[in-house]
């Protein structure tokens, strides 16, 4: 995978220029004296100073209670023109990722290190949720519900069948989200609505970021 963790952008010669650096705030030595676009010597003022560009791909095992989307052939395949198969999962409060595959529900503690992440609860949510097993914290209840949902007969290997985007793994993840919504007396969300409102915007952001990374890898910079 290309290293996009240190991408920066700065303004020069009327353009936004993107490049990758070895440190958090300085330009690479080979580009520290001249602009890669116009060739003029760089004299960056305060308003033109390099700004770090946030990497939209994150480690799913460090993100509790999230909807995760990864590409079968690695993060670079998350670009919009890639035909790589996408895979969807749900993380529990400890970063264990549950996903539905041809082998049934998988529980993985590695393999989801570069994902598009959709948080499903607030990071500081520690609400007490009454249940049949006494008072559980919100995250404890999440883990219990996720395990119970994943153990249902409809998620057996025999019932797995592929579709296009929104495959069985997607239906599994959205099914869990809707089960939680309905248990809280909230309306379930339609697949098309969830996709257009929550998934596609993040996918477009990741695709644009990775496209810029690929251009920088090939040419040393990207400009608009």
Among 114, 110, 118, 111, which residue's Cα sits nearest to residue 90? Answer: 118
Q: What is the pTM of this model?
A: 0.80
One domain for residues 174 and 99: yes
What is the overall mean pLDDT for the chain? 80
CA distance 210 to 204: 10
Query: Could you read off the pLDDT of 18-31 as tens digits, one per residue?
Result: 988 754 444 544 44
User: 202 in a domain, yes or no?
Assistant: no
| Separation of first and last alpha carbons in the chain | 24
Query: Could you read off the pLDDT of 74-96 as tens digits, one per residue?
Result: 666 566 555 557 889 999 999 99
**Domain around 47:** 7-54+212-223
User: 163 in a domain, yes or no?
Assistant: yes
One domain for residues 11 and 117: no
C-alpha distance from residue 30 to each of 34, 36, 42, 60, 221 (Å): 8, 9, 12, 35, 12
Query: Could you read off the pLDDT of 182-215 as tens digits, one per residue?
Result: 887 888 899 999 999 999 999 899 989 988 988 8
More confident of the two residues 182 and 99: 99
One domain for residues 72 and 179: yes
Q: Report yes or no: 113 and 38 within 8 Å, Cβ to Cβ.
A: no
One domain for residues 69 and 47: no
């Amino acid at each position: 995978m290309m290293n996009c963790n240190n991408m920066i952008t700065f303004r020069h010669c009327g353009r936004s220029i993107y490049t990758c650096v070895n440190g958090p705030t300085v330009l690479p030595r080979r580009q520290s004296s001249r602009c890669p676009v116009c060739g003029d010597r760089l004299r960056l003022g305060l308003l033109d100073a390099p700004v770090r560009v946030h990497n939209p791909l994150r480690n799913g095992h460090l993100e509790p209670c999230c909807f995760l989307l990864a590409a079968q052939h690695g993060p670079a395949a998350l670009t919009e023109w890639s035909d790589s198969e996408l895979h969807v999962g749900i993380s529990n409060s400890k970063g264990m990722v549950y996903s539905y595959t041809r082998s049934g529900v998988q529980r993985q503690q590695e393999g989801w290190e570069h994902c598009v992440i959709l948080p499903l609860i607030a990071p500081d949510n520690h609400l007490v949720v009454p249940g049949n097993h006494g008072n559980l914290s919100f995250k404890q209840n999440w883990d219990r519900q996720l395990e119970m949902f994943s153990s249902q007969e409809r998620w057996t290997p025999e019932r797995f069948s592929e579709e296009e985007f929104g495959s069985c793994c997607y239906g599994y993840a959205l099914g869990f989200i809707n089960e939680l919504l309905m248990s809280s007396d909230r309306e379930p969300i339609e697949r098309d609505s969830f996709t257009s409102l929550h998934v596609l915007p993040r996918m477009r952001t990741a695709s644009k970021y990775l496209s810029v990374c690929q251009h920088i890898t090939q040419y040393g910079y990207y400009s608009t």
